[in-house]
Structure 1
Amino acid sequence: MKRLILAATAALSLAACDAVPGTGGDDTLDIPEVADGDLSEATMKEVTQTLSSDEFEGRMPGTPGEEKTVAYLIEKFEAAGLKPGNGDSWVQDVPLVEITGKDFAPLTVTGEGVDLSFAPSKDWVGVSYKEQVQTSVKDAELVFVGYGINAPEKGWNDYAGVDMKGKIAVILVNDPDFGTEGLEGPFGGKAMTYYGRWTYKYEEAARQGAAGALIIHDTDPASYGWNVVESSWTGPQAYAQRGDNPPPLTDMNGWVQKTVGEQILEAAGQDFAKLSAAAKEKGFKAVPLGLTASTSFRNDIRTYNSQNVIGILPGTERPDEYVIHTAHWDHLGRCTPAPDGDDICNGAVDNATGTAALVALAEAHVKAGAANRSLVFLAVTAEEQGLLGADYYAANPVFPLSQTVGGINMDAFLIAGPSNDVTVVGQGKSRLEEFLETALAADGRTITPDPSPEAGYYYRSDHFAFAKRGVPMLYVDGGEDLKEGGRAAGEALAEEYRANRYHGPKDEYSEDWDWSGVMADLQLFYRIGRMLADSSSWPNWVEGDEFKATRDESCAADEAGC
């Protein structure tokens, strides 16, 4: 639903992939029929109202609001009939670190006859992911690496032939297909892939040994303005602690305004438009710019602990195979006051509703009796700070990812009446959508393709932490075509929420809400979860998806799993 909230609103394509065990080598999935679940609207109302009450203080991780939230969810999971999901414990500890940069020096770029200086916040922003009190980059060579992509399955490597050790990668936002009209192309046409996300670009630059990475901001391919970059990348930045064997990290990651990027390339004797066009073509070669960059800043570091809450309904026939349901319990705590002085961001829609859905689904599955596979209900922390709880779980899974069949993420049910459709974010990525289509047929509902695939919303919620490690995950929003008022009514509702309540103190529970549309969507999620849990199939990503190779490798390494 966040995709609806953030996007101005405006098919489905499926491809066969792996053979299914027990089907003689064809590609037909085992999708069993399931009865409707006994879902409680009263539970949805009670849990949503409780979690979004002022007593819970906006559910900020590391505060008394977290303590109350975790205790309440354990109580509700246990009352629903689940078992503790982490051995004898209902929780998984999530160690977090908060790094706040300060005392930023300008970003200076120098070379023969070149002496440029760019102001922090106004011209560039930077952070360090390393837990060190001082960040310093001095005279690091700048290398333009196009879109900064290394995708072996596509025969594409923007870093081919260049040694990035100690250098700074200068990178374009999004991916090479941005700007095309359809969904055809090596990177999914106008639909953003994982390779287009800033998270990937920083990770790949670090894997290449770079000292830093600077993304050139451009509003259209980024899908947001510089104001979003400036507000998001200044102030405290939280991360899950990485332990004794962290992945490669750069010293500094950041963004520069497009005009700054143009100035740097011009100073190097290069043309921004021509290099950008060249970077869209397979075989592009990185361009050393003959310039160096320097900057420094200090970091205040704070460590604290948060918790994911995990419940499980063990399976009867294949208890070591898992179907996962995720929702984030956290919100923003206290925030900028409303005109009436209210400063608690209650997060009723975002995401007390999704957390309530975990409880309601757990109740319904327990009432129906255990399925063949185990059903996992995971309420994760620190989504609002960067998907941190989900990412920590996926990096340190309680249940092996190779034995996790797939899952459903629930991120904010916008309260509306029933709709004729649902919106699939990241459509055509995995064969989980065949389970979705079957479940939708029971209601006579249809699929609306993601109206903004170029924005890459599939990579911006908790399921992404699992997807990038190979686990197929569905992200389904509520419908846009309301039975009363059609698409115009759906768009108006989403816009009203975005403008007046999203991430603000007025995202509060209301006794006047019409829950009928939410309950229809919840029934859909129940059917999908139950189908997956009673199926013998392991639906994979479609051929050519960026996550399929990771899943295939995971499956090959574990005889007990997929």
Structure 2
Amino acid sequence: MKIMSSFALAITATALSLTTFSSSAKTFEQAYDNISEKRLHQHIKTISSDEFEGRLPTSAGEKKVLDYLAKEFTQAGFKPGNNGSFLQPVELTEITPGDNTVLTIAGNGKTKNLSYVKDMVLGSSRVSELEAIKDSEIVFVGYGINAPEYKWNDYEGIDVKGKTVVMLVNDPGFESQIPSLFTGTAMTYYGRWTYKYEEASRQGAAAAIIVHETKPASYGWSVVTNGWTGPQYALYREDGNKDRVQLEGWLTLESTIDLFAQAGLDFKTYKRKAMQGPINKSLGLKATAAVESKIKRSTSYNFVATLEGSETKDEHVLLTGHWDHMGMDDALADDKIYNGAHDNATGIAGIIELAYALGSLDEAPKRSVTVIATTAEEQGLLGSKYYAQNPIYPLEKSVAAFNMDSLNILGQTQDLAVKGKGKSTIEDFLEVAAKKQNRNLVTEPNPSAGSYYRSDHFNFAKVGVPALYIGGGAIPLNDEVAAYKAKVQPEVRRCYHQVCDEYNPNWDLKGAIDDVRVIFDTMFQIADSDEWPQWSKSSEFQRPKK
């Protein structure tokens, strides 16, 4: 993909139509007020159009969105953030599993074959054309968690080397409704699928399979089949990811119930036991499966742009959001493009608007502001993970991180939802900004979804940079907004990671504008000060000690 040459053309572009901010210098208040719903609509419409082909990493759609960002950020007054380039290369391995995999379950006098997509999804993170398990003992390991701080270890007293572990999604606090168990109904990182595969790999398992249930997962089976089939990406590693389990995947709830029944056990009984305490139980069954994959190495790009600070230029306030989505599926009969209008054309549009606001100020804030529009978020937060492992600007000079992912398209709210509320003192600055809009800070409406652990800011949190992720609220501004929300919200939920996530000119983006403005305000407060936000003592994240 020849991206570099196209940037020279994009940067010299002069026709910017609706995206142009007034070039005259502005006060903070003028820049704040000039963040525009009309322009936000235009950006979303463009980025999520069929022309961008669903923005799959390494595709023609990637080239188009990166060109678009280069044009906009240059016009906004930002400079290339990576030694004269807007691009940070991210080496990826593309692994495309075959669609004819069968999972065979044998034991207790029966043999059952589970079908790909219908009953289960299996793949491999290993860079290998063939990964297989044969007669691998199946062990139920509860939630698949080893968390010393919670005195919880589902792997205690059992050796799972070479075995297939089956585990529940989320963590024990969710369905138990016990506030003192983990963090109650609010998901921790231990509830995320990423952690569960990582821990199974550390335990030496041959395969790791998660039981899908819509409520604790916070998404339906179609999201699993759309997200875990087709090309899968991993950061390139010379060892070919050999430290991962051979096979990883998901089981439908129905298949899991049948699996336990074949073992002569009741799934509901063992699920209840798993909520009460650590558990592991051999099912007396054997699993056999082979996954054939096509392997391709490729290069995608994070987009990095910086507005230099007026004083302490070496200190950076970071803003992330992912430009990628899920591309195209030629196997679909009609609409083949995953346009990703809400997820995450809205977030990228918000970042562009915020960049224009910052760039239009009569004087830049004291600290630098760096935008990192990431690649391969949909494949496991890979772009942000790569940047956190290979930072362009030192992490110890990264003051705070903000994230924009799937902005509020449900109208204005009286409150402001903070995902992972209480984790850092960034919220002190946020509260000041929210009060200007007469909004109070609240916990996100569905903390059990674990949203704080599901977007790009999380990788910065893991390396110690205080990170904030906000969006919308629970209480509509008035009855008119409430009626609009009631109409639109079911569609938003239905279209998550589906081809119907398309731009709608009738979306009410006033709530999104409120959120962009509050992030602009909060970022400016921090960027124009000498204060360093800190993690709260109760947070699982802390800055590394010098």
Matches within 5 A, 1:262-301: 262-268=257-263, 270-282=265-277, 284-301=278-295
Matches within 5 A, 1:307-346: 307-334=301-328, 344-346=337-339
Is 1:354 equivalent to 2:347 in the alignment?
Answer: yes
Q: Which runs of 5+ in 1 are unaligned?
A: 1-33
Paired with 1:406 and 1:300, the residues of 2 have a C-alpha distance of 39
Q: SS of 1:477's equivalent?
A: coil
Identify which of 47, 51, 57 aligns with 1:51. 47
Identify which of 463, 488, 491 aligns with 2:486. 491
Q: CA 1:64–1:173 in 2, change beyond 3 Å: closer, same or farther?
A: closer
Is 1:213 equivalent to 2:208 in the alignment?
Answer: yes
Q: CA 1:114–1:349 in 2, change beyond 3 Å: closer, same or farther?
A: closer
Runs of 4+ that moved beyond 6 A: 336-339
- The letter of the residue matching 1:331 is H
- The letter of the residue matching 1:70 is L
Q: CA 1:538–1:140 in 2, change beyond 3 Å: closer, same or farther?
A: farther
Q: Which runs of 5+ in 2 are unaligned?
A: 1-27
- The letter of the residue matching 1:74 is A
- The letter of the residue matching 2:347 is G
Superimposed CA distance per residue, residues 456-488 of structure 1 (whole angstroms, 9 cap, x where no aligned partner): 233333223333444332221124513462434
What's the counterpart of residue 93 of structure 1?
Answer: 89
Identify which of 511, 531, 542 aligns with 1:517. 511
Give the conservation status (yes or no) of the 8 Å contact 1:211–1:250.
Answer: yes
- The letter of the residue matching 1:377 is V
Q: SS of 1:130's equivalent?
A: coil
**68-77 vs 51-60, which deviates more?**
51-60
What's the counterpart of residue 125 of structure 1?
Answer: 121
Matches within 5 A, 1:56-67: 56-67=52-63
Q: CA 1:422–1:245 in 2, change beyond 3 Å: closer, same or farther?
A: same
What's the counterpart of residue 197 of structure 2?
Answer: 202
Paired with 1:457 and 1:144, the residues of 2 have a C-alpha distance of 26
Q: Shift of residue 342 of structure 1?
A: 6.5
Q: SS of 2:348's equivalent?
A: helix
Paired with 2:272 and 2:535, the residues of 1 have a C-alpha distance of 30
What's the counterpart of residue 390 of structure 2?
Answer: 396
Higher normalized contact order (CA 8 Å, seq sep 6+, divided by chain length): 1
- TM normalised by structure 1 equals 0.82
Give the conservation status (yes or no) of the 8 Å contact 1:328–1:383.
Answer: yes
Q: Shift of residue 126 of structure 1?
A: 0.8
Identify which of 385, 400, 403 aligns with 1:406. 400
- The letter of the residue matching 2:366 is N
Paired with 1:486 and 1:50, the residues of 2 have a C-alpha distance of 26
Q: SS of 2:233's equivalent?
A: strand
Q: CA 1:332–1:175 in 2, change beyond 3 Å: closer, same or farther?
A: closer
- The letter of the residue matching 1:302 is K
Identify which of 129, 134, 140 aligns with 2:130. 134
Q: CA 1:119–1:521 in 2, change beyond 3 Å: closer, same or farther?
A: closer
What's the counterpart of residue 71 of structure 1?
Answer: 67
Q: Shift of residue 344 of structure 1?
A: 5.0
- The letter of the residue matching 1:490 is K
Cα RMSD over matched residues? 3.2
Identify which of 224, 227, 232 aligns with 1:229. 224
Q: Shift of residue 113 of structure 1?
A: 4.6
What's the counterpart of residue 375 of structure 1?
Answer: 369
- The letter of the residue matching 2:175 is G
**485-494 vs 146-155, which deviates more?**
485-494
Give the conservation status (yes or no) of the 8 Å contact 1:417–1:484.
Answer: no
Paired with 2:519 and 2:123, the residues of 1 have a C-alpha distance of 38
- The letter of the residue matching 2:382 is L
Q: Shift of residue 251 of structure 1?
A: 0.3
- TM normalised by structure 2 equals 0.84
- The letter of the residue matching 1:168 is T
Q: CA 1:139–1:541 in 2, change beyond 3 Å: closer, same or farther?
A: farther
Superimposed CA distance per residue, residues 479-520 of structure 1 (whole angstroms, 9 cap, x where no aligned partner): 45134624343232333445579743672363x665543332
Paired with 1:506 and 1:258, the residues of 2 have a C-alpha distance of 26
Q: Shift of residue 375 of structure 1?
A: 1.2
Q: SS of 1:136's equivalent?
A: strand
What's the counterpart of residue 183 of structure 2?
Answer: 188
- The letter of the residue matching 1:235 is G
Q: Shift of residue 137 of structure 1?
A: 0.7
Q: CA 1:234–1:357 in 2, change beyond 3 Å: closer, same or farther?
A: closer
- The letter of the residue matching 2:191 is G
Give the conservation status (yes or no) of the 8 Å contact 1:336–1:504.
Answer: no
- The letter of the residue matching 2:224 is V
